[in-house]
Structure 1
């Protein structure tokens, strides 16, 4: 059965795209990247479509993608999936953020440390939840645990690309734990190896396709990839 329901909304000050995916209305679903201020939007989506949450999946551990994961997952008594390399960011988000992020976190949460979800699991091959099997493609660079999530039950190939690649840009690599060299490798081996018709559902901004980004994204051109391999940080906004 193919996925027939994909709902998304931007949440929080960073306008992070949060996704709900299900094979059908009235059935189980997964939520991807519930970030800052995403809880109410997720609850509305679950109610609107009659969905039952079965898992929370994270593309990486930055706070704008994970801040609501514990509340949503613990409330529904479901697991949170994340790459092991980013697991500590669920409790210590400043480990991968610039110093000027501290006052932002303190203003939002009165703290810079989080309580972990009760059930945290790590990607180790494909993940199946809500009847959907997700291929996991490890793509470090923005953070060490960045992971592309590729649902298999789709008529057109979809890729939840997180902050690896956006329409016209890529995730920044100049924050703690970022790596231009790793990002260049991930773009070359995990993004550019995808078919042109694959639709990218990024962590910020509009959807796009691999073909459009291969042609128009300046950061995916050979000279840019070579520059990143020489530790030239990119200038993305995210």
Structure 2
């Protein structure tokens, strides 16, 4: 499976493209600010057509370009119901500081929005993607789990949005954020994944669950109340 991405805009948000080898369809994850033009160029050059846009959460740096991309290709956007309100009113999710940056800009929902649920399995562009709820950064934050073929077999992938980064975790000082809830989400939903699970975060470089379990300073001593120390 092809998995590629690029950082976009002033927030340097990672926009990802997932496609089966030699396929003509793909899935787009988190098209942020200034992502539309490079994304369309890549899709055109690669002869790929997106079938859906998946959103790890509702913050504008991850959703800025979702409406124009969905309109261009006539495809739906998928998001957790708890964060859907931010598609049309992103200031509610980020506060007054962003309002000053946006000025008179207006945002709208795509024509078709599909809400997913925890544990739901999506079959898109021939790829099976599992939705895992990880509230804390926002109440609608999720992680997408998939698999890609590697030289040594199937490689598990976790597109973690702003829940988990290489060496860090998501901020929780914006509306809907909850630090303790975020740590519980990571402890119960992410750290039990296998060490070789590749972490593809919303910002910065990739990592692995094993690497983060062993070296991420925010996860030191983190425990799962059902399984004990991780």
Give the TM-score normalised by the residue count of structure 2.
0.91
**Structure having the larger proportion of residues in helix:** 1
1:128 aligns with 2:127: no
Match of 2:160 in 1: 161
Aligned to 1:17: 14
| Corresponding residue number in structure 2 for 1:38 | 35
1:98 to 88, 95, 113: 95
Query: What is the CA–CA distance in structure 1 between the aligned matches of 2:76 and 2:148, rounded to whole Å?
Result: 21
Alpha carbons 1:28, 1:52 under 8 Å: kept:
yes
Aligned partner of 1:176 in structure 2 is 175
Alignment of 1:42-53 (within 5 A): 42-53=39-50
Instruction: Tell me how many residue pairs correspond in the alignment.
Output: 219
Specify which of 32, 35, 55 is matched with residue 58 of structure 1.
55
How far apart, CA to CA, are the structure 2 residues paired with 1:209 and 1:32?
19
- Helix, strand or coil for the counterpart of 1:157? strand
The separation in 1 between residues aligned to 2:34 and 2:145, in whole angstroms, is 25
Alignment partners' CA distance in 2, 1:79 and 1:223: 37
- Corresponding residue of 2:210: 211
1:149 alignment partner in structure 2: 144
TM-score (norm 1): 0.88
Distance (whole Å) between structure 1 residues aligned to residue 14 and residue 139 of structure 2: 20
Contact 2:187 2:223 in 1 (8 A): no
Runs of 4+ in 1 over 6 A off after TM superposition: 223-226
Return 5+ residue gaps in structure 1 as ranges.
227-238
Where in structure 2 are there 5+ consecutive unaligned residues? 226-230
Over aligned residue pairs, what C-alpha RMSD do you find?
Answer: 1.7
